[in-house]
Structure 1
Amino acid sequence: MLFRFSLYGFLKNQRYFEPFLMLAFVEKGLSFLQIGVLFAFREVCVNLFEIPSGAVADLYGRRRAMVVSFAAYIVSLATFAMSTNVAWLFAAMFTYAIGNAFRSGTHKAMIFDWVRIHGRSDEKTRVYGYTRSWSKLGSAVSVVLGAALVFYTGAYSYIFWFAIIPYALNIVNFLGYPAELDGEQDAPVSFGALFSVLWESLREVAGRRPLRRAVLESLGFEGVFHATKDYLQPILRQTAMGLPVLLMVSDMKRTAVLVGVVYFVLHVLSSAAARQAHRVVDAAGGEEPAADILWAVDWLLFAGLLASLIIGWQASAIAAFVLLMAVQNLWRPALVSRINTYSTPEMGATVLSIEAQAKSLGTMMIAPLVGWAVDTTGSFWPVAAAGLTAATLVLLSRPFGRDSRAA
């Protein structure tokens, strides 16, 4: 199953559009505020479906939930490719959000169930980090293919069409998952049962201090990360336009080359970080001490990014973005492992979906504000200011030197 889990991550991350998504929206005439609102709309939709989708996965079967997820992704990609106005972009974001809602939390719960069933619970961070490393390698391959498509076609629409192929292959991959990973299900299933699972999971998160804290930290770390990470793209475009190379080709093609190189390095580094996440946890002495260290590193990198953007050092700003994404891939496996440690197996997918909803809530609040600030200031420094503020607040509230596992 490690092969299928890794294949899932590899195919899932064949998002040829991802390194160019913000640039594609800018080309369609959207302001950064409009892009932020579009991202916020996606997160609102994710919030509407996130927790119910996790409960549905726990009750009706996780494999079915994953098939629904990737079918929604395929519809979304086709809509993005054909969109000619903002209304169609919102429709595409809606179906993409449905895909996200049914996927996030569900597949992680399947991995952790497999780990538990096969008596490897002490390796959960290592196993999840290993599969995540394949996801990041898939992203590295995706960047090369996406950059090549943009360079040779001179258009962004093709990257959406070609991404449909690996997503369809992943549906085939799910058909080979064993039924034991569907989770324990009781039939018949009623709305009352669905609400019961949801309510008990919410009580579990609210009633356990370490679980509640992990979910709130996800709002700060992951919410800011997903609201700001795509601003690397316009910074790369600015840099590419100023480089004295490839002067015979269009700005779009020059940008595609630089995006391809930087994002390839970024994803290779992120893959290595994900694979070594368990070592960071072990070296730190546990998941909570590791979180302390990673939050401190996050603060330092956002401070460096802020200084670089204010001064105008684009190379160091790009480096800071790359390192922040590597840190996120150390953070994510450790966070998911923390949540899995404090929650029960029966509600695994639902609790992880609550965490994903918290992340979406953070992105929903931050993305429009950052977009408005970038439009207003005409600079990208508000991107770093948002991350620095979140890291500062969390660091000031973390229980350093105390037992953060206390209920």
Structure 2
Amino acid sequence: MYPVLIWGEHSQYYIGSTTNGGGDDALAVVEGRIVRISRQAANQRRCVMRQSIDRHKVRSIVWQYYLFSGCFTTALSFIFSTYSVFLIAKGFDLLQMNLVNCFFVVGVFCMEIPTGAYADVLGRRNSFIAACFVLSAAMGIYYMADSFWMCVLAELIGAAGSAFCSGSLEAWAVDSVKHTGMRGQLHSIFRREQYVVRIGSIIGSLLGGYIAQGDLALPWLYSSVGLFVLGIVALCIMREEYFERKQFTFSLSVIRTVIVESIRYGVRRKSVLYVVIFGSLITMCVQPLNMQWQLRLVQDFSFNTMGLSWGYVGISIFVMLGSFLSRKFMERVGNEKRALILSQAITTAGVLVAACMVGAWIVLPAFLVHEIGRGMIVPLKRAYMNKRIPSKQRATILSFDSMVNNAGAFIGLVVGGWLAKYYSISTAWIVSGVALAITIPVFLKLKNGDG
């Protein structure tokens, strides 16, 4: 028994099976006549046809992934270059500024797994669309905020939106591409997506810095409108052909099962847990720099909002450079684990130099160099994890990773804010650099379960 291909001049299709007495040929229709051709030739022709269709679908999916990632980041990035300055202008000190952001991190931590399970049960598309609308509401509240607790409310709503987004768009892209039959090349997709995201963040941050010259609150309004429009677009054009809606009950039993299975997988699979913990520690160490770079440029080097925007452009360019170099670095090192860990030696060196020096001519270049390492870790970590997690729980396991990552961010925010308030921003950065310098050799020695 073997498949029979009916292959015409303008059509080809599979119709069933037949017996050929042990031979190794098949029946086909060529110019209206039934002829025998080798089974190998028939399969090759069928594969060529399928590959042609798959390439078209893959191209469409990947471009949609780039479109949504880029536009989502552009809408968010109106606030990227002035976020800390905006909070300080509200009258917050360095610790209060970080504590406001802590509410966001705690909110994401609490909602990460449930919203990831929502994506697994009800669809990645629905999860991403929900993220756009919820984040739009959060940005609108921030635009109107006039107190610490109103900012906290905006952060908590934003945390829900961020949690809906976390892992959902990436999982949609990976599973949609794999649904076409394509295997491999995930690293190149994520690497190029980093370029798209950074270009979007450059455009958004420059516009945000320009808008903020008149009013530091206006970038939040622009971000709110942009996210709302993106949600409408995603609702109209985003598709999820591979997904079959699962039955959902008000008892949340399905989501509970997905959560338990995904956490169990993430914890028991040593190779996954290894990179999750490492990523969390890196996030903890760099969080003070995330929150304080704007203030250091304003206080030490007299930057205005447009200057901060161009500073963010520099950050984006160097992160893109790191993303570009990640593949070459991986090829040179020849081992996923070592490439992932050693890439952060660049981050460590940049942090320590920027922390210890005082002149703009050395602090700014060192700070930008540390962004190269941070740009390298994103595609390296994504490719590493997506090879090791099952499709059905992909969104939830990626959310589990993000949840643990946010736990590290929380610690970094509290410690970094306390050090900056009672000592100095430079002291907070020095502590971060030393912690990074300890983390790298420790994880090089640890076993990750599969080399």
Give the number of the structure whose residues are more often helix, by fraction. Answer: 1
| Partner residue, 2:64 | 4
Alpha-carbon distance in 2 for matches of 1:338, 1:131: 16
| Partner residue, 1:164 | 224
Aligned to 1:317, what secondary structure does the other structure show?
helix
| Partner residue, 1:323 | 369
Find the partner of 1:383 among 428, 431, 435.
428
| Partner residue, 1:33 | 95
Alpha-carbon distance in 1 for matches of 2:266, 2:398: 10
Alpha-carbon distance in 1 for matches of 2:285, 2:172: 27
| Partner residue, 2:341 | 292
Q: Structure 1, residues 256-313: CA drift from partner, whole Å, max 9, x if none?
A: 13212221122123234334433332332132121132122222222222322xxx22
Is 1:281 aligned to residue 327 of structure 2?
A: no
The alpha-carbon deviation at position 119 of structure 1 amounts to 3.8
Question: Structure 1 stretch 171-180 or stretch 9-18: which is displaced more?
Answer: 171-180
Amino acid paired to 2:375: N
Q: 1:188 to 1:37 in 2, by over 3 A?
A: closer
Amino acid paired to 2:398: L
Structure 2 matches for 1:123-272, cutoff 5 A? 123-151=185-213, 153=214, 155-175=215-235, 176-180=237-241, 183-189=243-249, 191-241=252-302, 255-272=304-321
Q: Structure 1, residues 371-398: CA drift from partner, whole Å, max 9, x if none?
A: 1111111x21233234223323322322
| Partner residue, 2:404 | 358
Contact map agreement 2:139 2:154 (CA 8 A) in 1 = yes
The alpha-carbon deviation at position 109 of structure 1 amounts to 1.0
Taking only aligned residues, the RMSD between alpha carbons, in angstroms, comes to: 2.0
Q: 1:286 to 1:119 in 2, by over 3 A?
A: farther
Q: 1:298 to 1:184 in 2, by over 3 A?
A: farther
Q: 1:119 to 1:45 in 2, by over 3 A?
A: same
Amino acid paired to 2:225: I
Contact map agreement 2:288 2:417 (CA 8 A) in 1 = no
Question: Structure 1 stretch 14-23 or stretch 313-322: which is displaced more?
Answer: 313-322
Q: 1:364 to 1:123 in 2, by over 3 A?
A: same
Whichever of the two has the greater Rg, that structure is 2
Alignment coverage as a number of residue pairs: 387
Q: 1:3 to 1:9 in 2, by over 3 A?
A: same
| Partner residue, 1:395 | 440
Contact map agreement 1:33 1:369 (CA 8 A) in 2 = no
Instruction: Give % identity.
Output: 17
| Partner residue, 2:39 | none
Contact map agreement 2:138 2:224 (CA 8 A) in 1 = no
> What stretches of structure 2 of length at least 5 have no aligned partner?
1-60
Amino acid paired to 1:173: V
Q: Structure 1, residues 153-187: CA drift from partner, whole Å, max 9, x if none?
A: 1x201111111232123213323222236x45422
Scaled by the length of structure 1, the TM-score of the pair is 0.90
Question: Structure 1 stretch 362-371 or stretch 313-322: which is displaced more?
Answer: 313-322
Amino acid paired to 2:432: G
The alpha-carbon deviation at position 98 of structure 1 amounts to 0.6
Alpha-carbon distance in 2 for matches of 1:236, 1:120: 46
Give the number of the structure whose residues are more often strand, by fraction. Answer: 2
Query: Which one scores higher on RCO, CA 8 angstroms, separation ≥ 6?
Result: 1
Question: Structure 1 stretch 314-323 or stretch 138-147: which is displaced more?
Answer: 314-323
The alpha-carbon deviation at position 20 of structure 1 amounts to 0.5
| Partner residue, 1:404 | 448
Amino acid paired to 1:70: C
Aligned to 2:246, what secondary structure does the other structure show?
coil
Q: 1:405 to 1:184 in 2, by over 3 A?
A: farther
Scaled by the length of structure 2, the TM-score of the pair is 0.81
| Partner residue, 2:359 | 313
Q: 1:196 to 1:323 in 2, by over 3 A?
A: same
Amino acid paired to 1:40: C
